Amino acid sequence: MPRLIYIMGPSGCGKDSLMAEARLRLPAEAPVVFAHRYITRPADAGGENHVALDRDEFQLRRTRGLFALHWESHGFAYGIGREIDIWMAAGLSVVVNGSREALSRALATYPALLPVLVEVTEEVLRERLNARGREDAAEMEKRLARARMAVMETPALVRFDNSGPLAQRGQVLAALIREAAFSDTDS
């Protein structure tokens, strides 16, 4: 049964790199696709491959029901397009880069989703935020404080430690995705 695999975690924990690595490690015949996000930030901002929209176009798409999921974070609007429903109807599991704050809404819409919380220690998170150089000191402290926010606990929640080497952690995530894509969530 196709499943939504909902990857989430604090900014800077390495979600984008981890998901890209896992994607490379999945066999081509695996019934899994990765969704892009629609974001109200420039296309060249950050390492995530996303569709950049201005606020007006984002709002138009949202009011017309073109997003399966949407939320606000860090001053930007984020959306996952309705195309994920078509992909799942076609028998594909879908991996999305979600939001911890939007998890309850995602579960209400997709009760069988697999929530995966990517975690690193605060020390590792601080190093990664420093290395990417996108935030000033005050913004980095805000992101570190936000990283401590509690996540809605669900029986299916997988806590995923991303503090090891990227190739190794990507292989582990790929195995988790493959297992979720082939599991029968009805049993």
Could you tell me what percent of the chain has a pLDDT over 70? 96
Q: What is the pLDDT of residue 187?
A: 41
The residue with tokens 């430690």 is 161
- Residue 187: is it exposed, middle or buried by C-beta count within 10 angstroms (0-12/13-18/19+)? exposed
Q: Where are the domains of the chain?
A: 4-182
> Which one is predicted more confidently, 39 or 121?
39
Kindly report the average pLDDT of the chain as a whole number. Answer: 90
Expressed in angstroms, the distance from the first to the final Cα of the chain is 11
For residue 35, give both structure tokens.
Answer: 């969704």
Average pLDDT over residues 155-167: 93
**Residue 179 pLDDT > 70:** yes
Q: What are phi and psi of 6, to 5 degrees?
A: -105, 100
Domain 4-182 grouped into CATH 3.40.50.300: yes
pTM for the predicted model, two decimal places:
0.89
